[in-house]
Amino acid sequence: MSLKVLKFGGSSLSDAHQFQKVAAIVRAEEERRYVVPSAPGKRYDNDTKVTDLLYASHAAAVKGEGFDEAFARVEKRFNSIIADLGLALDLTAEFDTIRRNIQNGASVDYAASRGEYLSGIVLAALLDFPFVDAADLIFFTESGAVDDERTYEAFYELTKKHDRAVIPGFYGRAADGSVKTFSRGGSDITGSIVARGVRASIYENWTDVSGFLVTNPRIVENPRPIDVVTFRELRELAYMGASVLHEDAVLPVKAANIPINIRNTNEPDHPGTLIINNIRAASSSPITGIAGKRGFSIIHIEKDGMNKEVGFTRRALSVLEKHNVSFEHLPSGIDTMGFIIQTEALAGQGETIAREIGKAVDADEVELISGLALIAVVGRGMVRAKGIAARIFSAVARANINIRMIDQGSSELNIIIGVDEYDFRSAMNAIYAEFFPQD
């Protein structure tokens, strides 16, 4: 029998009604055996997440201030959920322990993790699944990395004891025995580790959207959903600003060749987006996604005979290294070179860095150009497809937009263009319309 791991985000567990939706999803398929919950999120726009209330409680305790009001709101949220679900569950002892530990100097990681911990206890009671503390399954080394050997040995032992379980997300156990949280995308990472640990056939990540969209809906109106995307495409889109899973949440399942299915708790019948490892998977379109972001600058260098000068690029890069600045792209010609850099990374030193580079390489001309936006057109269907670049350039030209920079990776997985920031929105819409015309 195939085995599925399900992770539910905070919006999926914001109140009792959402808990009931989650329970119905889990019970809908026998294969759904291991569940990773987040802490309850916002119920409405001006609401406060449980995790934020716990952060506030800890901050007040550190200052020696009372935190009864903030913590009482945590208790009220969970007690309300329990009552509305009709569960015979009393968390008083858990609340008392958490309050006492925070008062006695427990770490911020411990405080922040208790939302997932309590959410897991409630969901386990609702599903009648065993509750297994993530601190007994996920272990960190002294450097803060996941201790794979110890962690996956613990999951091997888990599967011998329990063929199903609720395992809270966001945290594990540090090398010194204390609770440690993941820095970003915590519950997503936990779900990925659990999927690998129990050798799942698929990792279902349930949230409040029905998968990924071809591009940003705040820029392009009603973009199409993405049915299938590969891990490599996902990385390219995330790098260019697309709001997708954090890379650390992808690596464990990618290594084990376990697909991720992004699903919507509020639309459980929607198939969502499937993330797979196979770069050669068939695609109905040469383009999978379009992503972009503003806020880049170019340090443009010109020098006759640059291509024959050994060490030219190294000398230019040494200036960036001296200022602790990394570059994003390096478009070049025979006598020209440009470093594409995030403007924020220049920290107001762009002109100074440009002058230093000019001196280091004895350039004929060096110019700092700011106000650039980058757009990445990503798709596994682009490999060996003819005319993709021409279609991109033609679409942008028809919109009367000048392309300032072009870069294509050797994998033929993406084409990146640079345009002036004021042309960013128009360029994104022009490219989208070229490959995804209105029906």
CB contact burial 12-49 (16+ within 10 A = b; e otherwise): bbbbbebbebbbebbeeeeebbbbbbbbbbeeeeeeeb
**Most confident stretch, 149-163, 278-292, 395-409:** 149-163
Residue 123: CB partners within 8 Å, gap ≥ 6? 13, 19, 22, 23, 35, 37, 129, 166
As a whole number, the mean pLDDT across the chain is 92
Q: Look-up: residue for tokens 């009482």? A: 72
405 pLDDT band, cuts 50/70/90, is confident
Name the nearest CA neighbour of 8 among 259, 266, 262, 206. Answer: 206
Higher pLDDT, 379 or 423: 423
Confidence of residue 35 (pLDDT cuts 50, 70, 90): very high
Q: Give pLDDT tens digits for 191-248.
A: 999 999 999 999 999 998 888 899 998 999 999 999 999 888 888 887 777 766 777 7
> DSSP 3-state assignment of 115?
helix
Is the CB of residue 428 less than 8 Å from the CB of residue 399?
A: no
d(CA 340, CA 370): 10
Q: Which domains does the chain have, with CATH numbers?
A: 4-208 (3.40.1160.10), 289-435 (3.30.2130.10)
Alpha helices, DSSP H, located in 289-411: 312-322, 343-346, 350-361, 388-398
Q: How confident is the model at residue 185 (pLDDT cuts 50, 70, 90)?
A: low
pLDDT at 373: 95
For 246-299, the pLDDT digits (tens) are 777 888 999 999 999 999 999 999 999 999 987 666 666 789 999 999 999 999
How far apart CA 327 and CA 317 sit, in angstroms, is 9
- Residue partners of 353: CB distance under 8 A and separation at least 6: 299, 319, 320, 323, 325, 346, 368
Phi, psi angles (nearest 5°) of residue 218? -80, -10
- Please report the pLDDT score of residue 81 as a whole number: 98
Q: What is the pLDDT of residue 31?
A: 97
pTM for the predicted model, two decimal places: 0.85
